[in-house]
């Protein structure tokens, strides 16, 4: 069965008042994410050994194989974006109690978490992602990955939040001001309720 582009969990203009305009969502979701899905399906169709595997299984099967880098990148980007769309909310920015307590316990404070996340996202050179993960040891941690990689592939743990820092994610809204995009995400767009649900389900 071919992989499919999931519908956004909100309208294209739902996030405009919070710093992500309709055109950004249309281009990012309908063009960029769709391109990853289309390419991935083409690779899977040409590789019988990948057919019938889940997205997670494909990512783990091809990671580290230089010849399969295009498969890995497109599978990883599909995986990353599925999480990313759920990471955004028109009612974002507020951190619910259980997640806040876990952040304070593991990272020291909400302020420290945001500082670490901003540092990870701004220092990811070129394209990539910043993440809040629940490590295999059961602690929260802030990580980053390059290009289409992700916490699944890197063995970093379960992803609770993931921020796309490729330029197509923010250039229409913030031009070259990646730090402003990151701050806006953490304070206004981040769906911390989703992150808490991911935490509780771990």
Beta bridge partners of 159: 133
Q: Would you mind telling me the total number of residues written for the chain in this entry?
A: 202
Kindly report the number of other CB atoms within 10 A of residue 175's CB atom: 11
Distance (Å, rounded) from C-alpha 145 to C-alpha 88? 19
Distance (Å, rounded) from C-alpha 167 to C-alpha 190? 18
81 is in an annotated binding site: yes
The answer to whether the CB of 86 falls within 8 A of the CB of 29 is no
33 is in an annotated binding site: no
164 is in an annotated binding site: yes
**How remote is the C-alpha of 138 from its chain's centroid?**
20
Q: How many CA atoms lie within 13 A of 63 on its CB side?
A: 16
187 is in an annotated binding site: no
Distance (Å, rounded) from C-alpha 134 to C-alpha 26? 31
Distance (Å, rounded) from C-alpha 127 to C-alpha 161? 17
Is 163 buried (19+), middle (13-18) or exposed (0-12) by CB count in 10 A?
buried
Annotated binding site for Mn(2+): 28, 81, 164, 168
Residue list for the binding site: 28, 81, 164, 168
């Amino acid at each position: 069965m071919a992989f499919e582009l999931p519908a956004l969990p909100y309208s294209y203009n739902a996030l405009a008042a919070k710093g992500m305009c309709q055109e950004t969502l249309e281009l990012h979701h309908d063009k960029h994410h769709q391109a990853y899905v289309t390419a991935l399906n083409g690779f899977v169709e040409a590789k019988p050994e990948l057919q019938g595997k889940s997205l997670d299984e494909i990512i783990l099967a091809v990671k580290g194989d230089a010849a399969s880098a295009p498969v890995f990148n497109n599978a990883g980007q599909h995986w990353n974006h599925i999480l990313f769309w759920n990471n955004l909310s028109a009612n974002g920015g507020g951190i619910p109690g259980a997640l806040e307590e876990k952040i304070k316990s593991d990272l020291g404070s909400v302020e420290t978490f945001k500082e670490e996340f901003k540092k990870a996202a701004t220092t990811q050179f070129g394209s990539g992602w910043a993440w809040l993960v629940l490590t295999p040891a059961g602690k929260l941690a802030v990580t980053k990955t390059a290009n289409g990689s992700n916490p699944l592939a890197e063995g970093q743990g379960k992803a609770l939040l993931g921020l796309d820092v490729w330029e197509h994610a923010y250039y229409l809204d913030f031009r070259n001001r990646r730090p402003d995009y990151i701050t806006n995400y953490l304070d206004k767009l981040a769906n911390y309720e989703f992150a808490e649900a991911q935490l509780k389900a771990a």
